[in-house]
Chain A
């Protein structure tokens, strides 16, 4: 009896207290992300959120624009001295958040420590092309390479840190309390889910016009959208699915800003054995799918059908057409490859023994959107008599299968593509996963084409004009061989509140545009 009264009293008190507690009014802008950054140190962060937040605090010598073109950032300019030397001129008067000047010595120390293994970074392998780094004067840095290596600019993006943090006991501080020369400075990270940044007054492009940037982790998509609708968040970048956008658009205080994205969705095929070792089957698949229809239905116009890995606005893009639906051609290709197709039952009955239909398993992650896309593909292929078995797996399990080549076909996505050398990682026969490289190669379909290997190897060491030609040729070959069935490039989608103005999302989903955005009172 007494016990019961106690419970009810506390419950009632809780409700009353909760109702009366005033909500503090806060200025500033709140960004919601879907999972916590594993590190704020750009040398260690591998996740999208980690890298983007780290870049906002500690930027690099160069960054990349929507076309995938390098753009000077902390560097004022750069030039190729000879095929194996690259000189950067730093901007004048650069300062770190702690007030100390950023000089060529800091740049040299940052990379030296990683190249020499004094700071252990998962990105070290990517800097293996560097032989030495010179800092002849405070504003000049010269990178000497072991061999001509064009993708080096992209590999250098890991954040310039003060020289005392490049190595030694202070290096770990960069994860706890990062310091850089970026538009926002670190203030606090009370726990994994809360990060507070403030504008940096001495930022080289001028102090950002946002009084405070709060980053909150909200894992649940519905909760993220509801926070926006409530007006307690101001920016969502990418972590929103197309199906909820109509609801968001109806709210007068929210704006949906979209732009072409640099992600690439595709169907990966296992070329190590039948059925996809036969090019005709791959081509038939490409002609049996109605990619533009799926893109329209599932992304409501927020995805562009792809013709290959590179998005349309990319400097090395070459329009090879992509997959267009043509069922009669697809049927013909399948028949040539020895499979029966829908509507050709009579023909196959005459030949003895009767041909089997094409059957394969399509694996996807357990993501709802990816599953529904796979379902449409299954239906479209069924029209041709192709039998697809769908399997959706928890991401770790799925990814393990992908890596070990344990699949017929998979739907996957490269989150951002801006350095075209990714083609070499993904399609060169050197990078076929095997026990020897502990399944770390990215050519997971086991595609091998000696001509393409050579082209891509040459492209990685060539100058810009040559690279353009070589990558165009490579895209032609890939279009013909189809180791991947290209699907689409999803647009970048940002939802911003009326408190945030002039935010223009970048194709790669970078957060740097926040440096140019402005906070207004609603």
Chain B
């Protein structure tokens, strides 16, 4: 109950912020909609029709009303497409991309981080951490095209851009997932080092347990909590990164929708997309809380 109230509060906050900022964005939407040659009467008519002559809080009120009833339409003439179906079409694509990136991130980061911690200050550790610095530092708008050149042009394994098959998902997911993998591997390493220093590890070793069960069963399970926390928080970064990645790979998701909306100054669309992003992020954090309970019996008891 408390949780859903917090979610609602965050949504309202996000909506208020985005509306305020949109109000501050220079550039007249009517200009972009009607073009430079439009007549004065037409401009005024349109301004009135889409409610741009109202103060921002009235615009926000009518936006919220139509959102709740599902009647929300694009603020662009002439046919003012409904916004929700557009989001319904784009959101699964972005979530697919984000989860695939997460899968890649986790699949790379966990073994790398655990290995680095188990052999800390060895060559493997240094190599893994050097890789993770590189992974965080590489910007996606550079990494994406490089991956395309290697895997799509030179090796000819995968398509350059677009969507439609699983093959289209591979390169964007890697592009988006690499930074997460890099960051997460550092977190995993740190959490594992912490856990390995605990007394129960010494006890386990003293009992004569083999190194591998000590590492996986005792240390790793205890290191999972911070890893999960970071994973939940990083989901927001993934959604943000998806905007750049979707542009590079012409991926038909929320990022593309958002860019279209901003370019056309389609305020309703921009508001709705930002809200959907906020909601996905909050939902992900709620899932993270559930995951805590799944991996840690102590949390479950509470």
Contact = CB atoms under 8 A, between A and B. Distances in A.
Interface of A: 1, 3-4, 7-8, 10-12, 14-15, 17-19, 21, 23, 35-36, 38-39, 44, 46, 120, 122-126, 172, 175, 191-193, 216-220, 222-223, 226-227, 229-230, 232, 395-397, 399-401, 403, 425, 437-438, 440, 442
Leading 10 A-B pairs by shortest Cβ distance: A396-B27, A125-B39, A46-B35, A11-B107, A397-B26, A18-B167, A218-B250, A400-B26, A122-B34, A222-B145
A219 B247 contact: yes
A246 B157 CA distance: 25
Interface stretch (B98-106, B125-133, B232-240, B271-279): B98-106
A227 B107 contact: no
Contacts of B75: none
B247 to A, nearest CB: 5
A36 B295 CA distance: 46
B268 interface: no
B76 interface: yes
Contacts of B144: 223
Given A4-B110, A14-B169, A222-B248, A38 B79 contact: no
Interface of B is mostly: helix
B259 A219 contact: yes
B143 to A, nearest CB: 12
B27 A14 contact: no
B27 A11 contact: no
Contacts of A7: 103, 106-107, 110
Interface stretch (B11-19, B158-166, B199-207): B158-166
A46 B44 CA distance: 18
A227 B161 contact: yes
A219 B245 CA distance: 11
Contacts of B42: 120, 122, 124-125
Given A21-B165, A193-B256, A14 B100 contact: yes
Given A18-B158, A219-B247, A226-B161, 18 more contacts: A1-B217, A3-B295, A7-B107, A14-B103, A14-B170, A18-B165, A35-B260, A35-B263, A44-B78, A122-B35, A172-B79, A219-B250, A223-B144, A223-B250, A397-B25, A397-B27, A425-B37, A437-B40
A19 B166 CA distance: 9
A497 to B, nearest CB: 14
A400 B248 contact: no
Interface in B241-275: 247-250, 252, 256, 259-260, 263-265
A403 B26 CA distance: 12
B165 to A, nearest CB: 5
Given A38-B76, A396-B32, A229 B250 contact: no
Interface stretch (B1-9, B115-123, B146-154): B146-154
B289 interface: no
A438 B43 contact: yes
B250 A36 contact: no
Given A46-B34, A226-B153, A193 B25 contact: no
Interface in B167-181: 167, 169-170, 173
A220 B250 contact: yes
B247 A220 contact: yes
17 contacts: A1-B217, A7-B110, A8-B107, A15-B170, A18-B169, A21-B165, A38-B264, A122-B33, A123-B37, A125-B38, A219-B259, A220-B250, A222-B148, A226-B149, A226-B161, A396-B25, A425-B37
B265 A396 contact: yes
Contacts of B159: 23, 230, 232
Nearest to B38: A122
A41 B173 CA distance: 36
Contacts of B252: 191-193
A293 B167 CA distance: 46
Given A7-B103, A18-B170, A175 B38 contact: no
Contacts of B148: 222-223, 226
A44 B141 CA distance: 34
Nearest to B157: A19
Nearest to B103: A11
Contacts of B216: 1
Contacts of B256: 192-193, 219
Contacts of B89: 191
Contact of B145 (A216, A223, A401, A437): A223
A111 B77 CA distance: 20
A52 to B, nearest CB: 15
Contacts of B106: 4, 7
A38 B107 CA distance: 41
Contacts of A227: 160-161
Nearest to B34: A122
A192 B166 contact: no
Nearest to B107: A11
Contacts of A44: 77-78
A495 to B, nearest CB: 15
B183 interface: no
B64 to A, nearest CB: 25
A120 B26 contact: no
Contacts of A12: 107
A21 B166 CA distance: 8
A230 B39 contact: no
B79 A223 contact: no
Contacts of B78: 39, 44, 120, 172, 175
A10 B103 contact: yes
B38 A216 contact: no
B247 A440 contact: no
B254 to A, nearest CB: 13
Interface in B69-117: 76-79, 89, 100, 103-104, 106-107, 110
B38 A400 contact: no
Nearest to B251: A193
Contact of A21 (B40, B153, B167, B259): B167
Contacts of B220: 1
A14 B260 CA distance: 30
